Structure 1
Amino acid sequence: MYRLISAGFGVLLALATPAQASSLCPGANTEVQMLECMQRSLKKSDRQLNQLYQELVTRFKDEGASPGRPTQDVALKKAQRTWIAFRDASCELETYESVGGSGYATIHTHCLLKQTQARVQYLKRISGMP
């Protein structure tokens, strides 16, 4: 687990405290249990993200069509592809120092989970959902 600490112009990566880790997966007592819990949470968040994304693509279909300007669904698709690349690169950077360590999979999954949850909230705001 990790947390970001602001440090002047940059952000540092630090391991999360056991209390922070247990708040995400309160029943997890081992690294394996923590990873399994986070993987389940990531799958759930990913399904939610994909469902919301598909609903928005359908809703935005043909919105704003004009010469030389993409429709809103095309803009959303481009933004989503860019976000996926950003998420993957960000998690690679944030977990760089843990590669090869016993906690890498958990740390990387946590990064993906937090990024995905944030994207779900962003798409909800775009859609007008609470």
Structure 2
Amino acid sequence: MRALIFAAILLNTTLAAKADEWDFAAQHKQHCSVGGQDVMNVCLANAYRDTNQRLSALYEQLQVVLEDGTSLRKAQATWLRFRDQTCEYEVSGLVKDNAGLYAYAKHACMIDITEKRIRDLKEYLSWDCNGCPGRK
């Protein structure tokens, strides 16, 4: 029986750790988990602002090195709509009257998806191959 309980605890811990690997906002949520809802919301809003600034800087850095940034510009505009609509969907079950929880969840979603896009743009910056978008 003890072995079964231990196995269940181990499995639960492993699954939780795996979930955090895909939640790119996890460290921000952990950092912002101190204080009341208003304090946590401000913290997460600031974390999103910083994450979005990092994204913008990478996007500009990539645009500078491309021969023609039209495709990236179109992709980024489409991605922004995707991010916004995805996060709107993810928080659609929350009552907007509970503005504190709604704002927290929306910022967490925006951070998560933006961090993933940052990873993609970093990868694009590292590309140096035949068939990759042209560089100046």
* Pairing 1:39-54 to 2, within 5 Å after superposition: 39-54=45-60
Q: Hey, what's the Cα distance between the residues in 1 that align with 2:27 and 2:120?
A: 24
- Give distance in 2, aligned partners of 1:111 and 1:57: 26
- Match of 1:94? 90
Deviation at 1:107, TM superposition (A): 0.7
Higher Cα radius of gyration: 2
Higher strand share: 1
* Separation of aligned partners in 2, 1:22 and 1:127: 28
What is the alpha-carbon distance in structure 1 between the residues aligned to residue 41 and residue 27 of structure 2? 14
Instruction: Name the TM-score, length of structure 2 as normaliser.
Output: 0.67
Q: Percent identity?
A: 29
Find the counterpart in structure 1 of residue 132 from structure 2.
none
Bigger helix share: 2
Once residues 101 and 33 of structure 1 are traced to their aligned partners in structure 2, the CA distance between those partners, rounded to angstroms, is 18
Q: Tell me what 2:61 maps to.
A: 55
**d(CA) in 1 for partners of 2:60, 2:36:** 36
CA–CA distance in structure 2, aligned partners of residues 127 and 59 of structure 1: 9
Unaligned runs of 5+ in 1: 1-18, 63-70
Distance 1:22-1:121 versus aligned 2 partners, 3 A rule: closer
| 1:76 and 2:72 matched | yes
For normalisation by structure 1, the TM-score amounts to 0.70
For the aligned residue pairs, the C-alpha RMSD in angstroms reads 2.2
Tell whether 2:103 aligns with 1:105: yes
Q: Which moved more, 1:87-96 or 1:98-107?
A: 98-107
Matched, 1:25 2:25: no
The one-letter amino acid of 2:36's match is: T
Structure 2 counterpart SS, 1:53: helix
Pick 1 or 2: higher relative contact order, CA cutoff 8 A, min separation 6.
2
Match of 1:123 in 2: 121
**Residue 123 of structure 2 aligns to which amino acid in structure 1?**
R
For each residue in 1:20-77, what CA deviation from the matched residue of structure 2 results, as whole angstroms up to 9, or x when unmatched?
A: 8862425x221111111111111111111001100101101x2xxxxxxxx3x11110
